[in-house]
Structure 1
Amino acid sequence: MTTITINLPVKDLAVSRSFFEAIGLTINEDFSDENMLAVPLSDDIRVLLLTREYFGTFTPKPIADTSQGIETILAIGVDQRADVDAMADAAAAAGGEVHREPQDLGFVYSRSFVDPDGHVWEAVHMDFSGAQG
């Protein structure tokens, strides 16, 4: 089986918890502690939000300054177009920032936002039933 774990440094676990719960994600308390929060996206994909100090123990490299640039865009697929809007609106209400205007390609609809630590996320709904192929 293939699993994916995305490790992200954060400044404040309480702020991160509030933000990610506000956008509809859950925290797996069994794998969370004072150093990290485990955020399952599916059975095989999870995000670990690690304090910057703890994250630093996994790499000799400096932690990127997300206020100066972008490191990655993390896309989360959702079931409905309305779910895209709900997640992006909740992110803005919880202190996130709009990253760019909504993208509507007909069969793909997305909105992106920046979390309190500068990580860029994108809520995406794909419906290929109407796409020309």
Structure 2
Amino acid sequence: MTDIFVNLPTADLDRCQAFYTALGAKINPLFTDENAACIDWGGGAYFMMLTREFFATFTDKPVADPAATAQVMVALTRASREDVDAVMDIGLSSGGVEPRAPQDLGFMYSRDLEDPDGNVLSFFFMGPAAVEQGPAAYSDQARS
């Protein structure tokens, strides 16, 4: 298995740690200091929330301001539509913003959440038939 580390800039490490732990992630203290916070989602998925200054040491390119530009959107699955709505309620009450209306494609339900820095997370649920056989299988099942 390959672990996934997504590096994202933040203007406020304490604020981002509070936000992501409210969503259910854990902080890995072994990789958290004054420059970075390791947000552990479980299952080998991590966000490395880096101060903008520290983030800049890993690239020669300008660091985008996630409040003004989108460079990446991270999608995280949930077990049901209700779980999507529940995590969104927590995120919104913890300082997040929902930048667009929920998307219901029948086979998939998703909602976007901007963290306090503007990084975009998409929480989504996909029906079991679509997961196993693709979106067309959901359409076929819905018609019968």
Normalising by structure 2, what TM-score? 0.85
Post-superposition offset of 1:69: 2.1
d(CA) in 2 for partners of 1:67 and 1:52? 13
Number of matched pairs: 133
Match of 1:132 among 127, 135, 139: 139
Contact 2:111/2:122 (CA < 8 Å) preserved in 1? yes
Root-mean-square deviation over aligned CA pairs: 1.5
Please state which structure has a larger fraction of its residues in helix.
2
Post-superposition offset of 1:70: 1.4
Contact 2:73/2:119 (CA < 8 Å) preserved in 1? yes
- Where does structure 1 differ by over 4 angstroms across 4 or more consecutive aligned residues? none
Unaligned runs of 5+ in 2: 131-137
Greater C-alpha Rg: 2
d(CA) in 1 for partners of 2:98 and 2:139? 30
Q: Which has the higher contact order (CA 8 A, sep 6+)?
A: 1
Q: Percent identity?
A: 41
Post-superposition offset of 1:114: 0.6
Unaligned runs of 5+ in 1: none
Normalising by structure 1, what TM-score? 0.91
Post-superposition offset of 1:24: 1.7
Counterparts of 1:1-133 in structure 2 under 5 Å? 1-129=1-129, 131-132=138-139
